[in-house]
Amino acid sequence: SYESEEIKIIDFGLSKKYAQSERLHDAVGTVYTMAPEVIMGNYAEKVDVWSIGVIAFMLLSSSLPFYGKTRQHVIRRVVKGRYSFEGYRWNTTSLAAKQFIHKLLKLNPADRPTAIQVLDLPWLQQNVEHMHKRSRRMSECLAFDRVQASIQSFAGYRRLKKLALLVIAHKSTDEEIGFLRQIFRQIDTSKDSGISINEFKEALADYQYSDVELEHMFHAIDIYGTGEIHYSEFLAATMEAHGQIEEERIAEAFDLIDADDSGFITVANLKDFLGKQLPDAYLNAIIDEVDVDHDHCISYEEFLALWDEAEDMKLRENYLCGAKRRQESMDAMSSSGSSGSLSEEMTESVSALSRGSMTSNELGGGMYFFDVEKQKSVRLSQPPQQ
């Protein structure tokens, strides 16, 4: 799409450094963009302002302001400074755009604005503001693509990795959290410090997930089991959207859970960390998901392997596929003239990869984390199905 195209500025072969009061005399350049004083052989920096006016004229009308069948004919028109806004293309061009060109194509250089003053002309200011807003929407959109990818990936993580990410989220600084706080506030439209299932579905509506998939992800993030996604849970699920987590942070999480400094995470460590009322079967299941060598405890190497290359590749695949689905949704809404959801306010993006399969744990995965006091009797008598 044109939003992703790059603009390259080239051809500085005739550029020249000059002193503030210096006059130049060589007639160089392309004749139809030359200012009259270049042709006359006595000019300064405002010739560039004239040339910008010529280029703006050409871009808006696909025609030259000073046209002639021969070079001499063009020169005569340039020296007289005569042009017109006639033709069907100019019928739909704004008055501000015409005034912009008119100010730049003043025959007398003293009547032209400086390059700095050109930036303040109304037509350019209107478009600069629009581009700033567009750039901001693009940035927000790309950030939201990363957030949804992180959420989708989090739903499929093993429970120990979810726990580790929650620990990392609890200990994160404002700088490490970055834009995630603002996105949480955008999703939390009721401003009650929690994301409801309806708010969650609305936020991800453009990504074409089914209701089953959305509920799947919601319950995987609802670590406390309250029926809402709280701020710390949201951070845990989206930390990786802010960038790759450094091994130092992973090591800190391991050390915090390995409270007895044995170098291993054991069922006893999890019981101390999560609450002694939790069933051993549930805690053993957390260990078994990661225990590669079957020694009933988790070494640091096994813990670190939760962030292996395959997980990173899956996160990237989720990002690219999600961005593609969002773009398709927005294209469809644009063609139908309908308005979309939260992420419709952001525009842009990306790749043409096909949608990847979504794999995750069953609903309710991780409901025990840090929820020590609530529903103890229910949990003791009926552990959630994993």
pLDDT per position as a tens digit, 153-190: 999 999 999 999 999 998 888 777 878 888 999 899 99
From 90, 120, 150, the end of a domain falls on: 120
Both 98 and 140 in one domain: the answer is no
Query: What's the DSSP call for residue 100?
Result: H
Which among 221, 157, 162, 229 has a CA at the least distance from the CA of 195? 229
Give the range of the structural domain holding residue 361, as residue numbers without chain letter: 133-381
Q: Is the distance from CB of 176 to CB of 242 less than 8 angstroms?
A: yes
Asked if residue 386 is part of any domain, the answer here is: no
Compute CA distances 46 → 16, 108, 109, 192, whole Å: 13, 10, 6, 57
Among the ranges given (24-33, 62-71, 124-133, 286-295), the one the predictor scored with the smallest mean pLDDT: 124-133
Question: Are residue 36 and residue 77 in the same domain, yes or no?
Answer: yes
With tokens 């003043």, the residue in question is 106
CB 353 within 8 Å of CB 329: no
CA distance 327 to 189: 23
Q: Has residue 324 been placed in a domain?
A: yes
pTM of the shown model: 0.54
Q: Which residue has the higher pLDDT, 131 or 14?
A: 14
Q: Is the pLDDT of residue 104 over 50?
A: yes
List the CATH number of the domain containing 114: 1.10.510.10
Q: Is residue 145 located within the same domain as residue 96?
A: no
> Is the per-residue pLDDT at 337 higher than 70?
no
Is residue 319 a contact partner of residue 149, using CB atoms and an 8 Å limit?
Answer: yes
Q: Which of 58, 89, 120 is the last residue of a domain?
A: 120
pLDDT score for 142: 78
| Residue that is last in its domain, among 95, 120, 145 | 120
Q: Please give the average per-residue pLDDT across 84-109, as a whole number.
A: 92
Tell whether 187 and 317 lie within a shared domain.
Answer: yes
Give 167: exposed, middle or buried? Use CB within 10 Å, 0-12, 13-18, 19+.
buried
Number of domains in the chain: 2
253 and 321, same structural domain?
A: yes
Query: Has residue 9 got a pLDDT over 80?
Result: no
Q: Is the same domain home to 182 and 277? A: yes
**Any domain includes 336:** yes
Q: Are residues 191 and 333 in the same domain?
A: yes
Is the domain of 282 the same as that of 320? yes
283 belongs to a structural domain: yes
The answer to whether position 127 is within a domain reads: no
Q: What's the CATH number where 254 sits?
A: 1.10.238.10
Q: Are residues 88 and 179 in the same domain?
A: no
| Domain identity same for 215 and 358 | yes
Residue 3 pLDDT > 80, yes or no?
no
Domain-embedded: residue 375: yes
Domain contains 268: yes
29 burial type by CB count under 10 A (0-12 exposed, 13-18 middle, 19+ buried): middle
Is 6 among the domain residues? no
Q: End-to-end alpha-carbon separation of the chain, Å?
A: 43
Same domain, 104 and 44: yes
Residue with more model confidence, 87 or 56: 56
- Whether 40 and 153 map to the same domain: the answer is no
Rounded Cα–Cα distance for residues 199 and 212 (Å): 15
